[in-house]
Amino acid sequence: MYSAFLVSKSECMICNNQVLKTLGTLQGVFGAEMDRIDGRIVVNHTDEVTREEIGAILITLGFPERQEEQSQEAEKEVETDEPSMWGCAL
């Protein structure tokens, strides 16, 4: 399954390697992609780890989810496995 998180575009997206490495250490996470342009992090994971657990890790890393769009975008699932040309993958 895929979980998408919209983070503030004002956050430092340069340090995304640490975010991707940390997400990659979670049991059940197969990959993660960070889109610097849209401020979006997409995580490919199993049910071993929940969306809430991933969100909590992102908060501790300094990437809280945007509140205004959280309720709308949280319900949408990512249906594609195509990598973004702007993102980074594990």
Instruction: Write the pLDDT tens digit of every residue in 36-85.
Output: 778 889 999 999 999 999 999 999 988 888 875 444 554 455 555 555 54
Q: CATH no. for residue 47?
A: 3.30.70.100
What is the model's pLDDT at position 71?
Answer: 45
Residue 22 has pLDDT above 50, yes or no: yes
User: Has this prediction a pTM greater than 0.75?
Assistant: no
| Count: domains in the chain | 1
How high is the pLDDT of residue 54? 95
Q: 35-74 in b/e burial notation, b at 16+ Cβ within 10 A?
A: beeebbbbbbbeeebeeebbbebbeebebebeeeeeeeee
Amino acid at 81: D
Structural domain including 46 reads: 2-74
